[in-house]
Each structure stands twice: as structure tokens, then as C-alpha cells.
Amino acid sequence: MSGRLTPSIDQLVKCLRYLPGVGPKSATRMALHLLERNQDRAAELAIALSEALTRVKRCTCCQNFTEEELCAICSDPRRTEKQICVVESPTDVVAFEQTSAYRGRYFVLMGHLSPIDGIGPREIGMDKLQSRLHEAEVEEVILATNPTVEGEATAHYVAEIAKSLNLTVSRIAHGIPVGGELGMLDAGTLSHALEGRKSLL
């Protein structure tokens, strides 16, 4: 693809390919579309991305994305503090919230354990989760990491911490395709997965 367009367009195409599911062809089409017909929108996009990068940070309580100290879920007094659903990414929180089936809190690990890539407990905030689980209100931990090898290993790690604190531990299972990603599931499937969670004790 390189060399056929200008260096700046090549760079833009390269960046658009960072997006999930975008290959060289669609990245090129997007880049040319923005420059050819939609320059105002393209500028808007550039500003929105830059603003989001500056303003969005992690919630000090659950590591979800927020622009305040606490995210909207952690600062909502109607959500029970008894349940903590542990997920790998803010996308999973969005997926669960779309089901309206869950009224507890979350902890967003921002990834999974992957020793081969140098990602250990510290890198994904496991120490923060551990101190969160020590809080008196917490009774149940729902493990909702992805059903991949790394996701299972991460769930196992969290389960051990939770069990050592005598908390109820469950793992969502029903209807989740092995190797899949929670963020890709429809609300119905995810809602069933939550209801059908299995106790790990």
C-alpha cells in the first residue's frame, strides 16, 4: 500500500489500521473519504480523539474510564457494593450495562495476565483489586474475564484471592463462546451468562 499515496496519507492509513477489524483496504478507503469529502468531520474526529486522550483517565476505585475521580457506576449510590464483577476491559462494562441485569459494581483489570508478554498481576492492577476486595461491604466476586486461556488464568488468580478472604466466588459461563470476547456478545446472551454463573467454591 505504501508509496502509492502521499507520506501523510500513508501514515493516516497506518494509524486507522490500529482499529479492530480494519484492514489495509478499508483503512485506505476511510482515509481518502475523510480527506476527499469530509474535511470538517475529519478535523472534528482529530479534536475528539485528542480531547478524549487528554481527559479520560481511570476511576480510582475500579479502573473504568472516567473524566472525574470516580466513574459514573462507582459514584452511583443505588448500586450495591456487595457484588464486584471483574472484567478485562471498559468494553465489557458497556456490554454488561446494556443488559441492565447487573446492579453491582465492577473492577476493570485493563487486560489479563500474560507472563509471556511480561504482563503480571501488577501491570493489570491486581494489587488494587486485592485492596478493594478487603473492603467490608464486599460479599461476592463475579469473574467475567474472557473465556480465553489468559482470561481463565486471570480468573483463577482472582478466585484464589477472593477465596482467601472468604468471599463467594462465581464464574460466568453459560453461552459464552470459548475464545470469544465479552464485548462482542449480545445483551441477551450476556444477561443469561450472568444469571447462570457457577459458584467456584
- Contact footprint for Zn ion (CB under 5 A): 59, 61-62, 64, 71, 74
Q: For residue 33, what is its C-alpha cell?
A: 473519504
- Spatial separation of the C-alpha atoms in residues 23 and 38, rounded to whole Å: 21
Q: How far is the CB of 73 from Zn ion (least distance, A)?
A: 5
Q: Which is nearer to Zn ion, 64 or 170 (CB)?
A: 64
Q: How far is the CB of 63 from Zn ion (least distance, A)?
A: 7
Q: How far is the CB of 57 from Zn ion (least distance, A)?
A: 11
Q: Which is nearer to Zn ion, 62 or 133 (CB)?
A: 62
Residue 195 main-chain phi, psi, to 5 deg: -65, -40
Q: Which is nearer to Zn ion, 107 or 189 (CB)?
A: 107
DSSP conformational letter for 183: G
Nearest to 98 by CA among 185, 201, 198, 8: 185
Contact yes or no for 127/86 (Cβ under 8 A): no
Q: Which residues, in sequence order, are CB contacts of 160 under 8 Å at separation 6+?
A: none
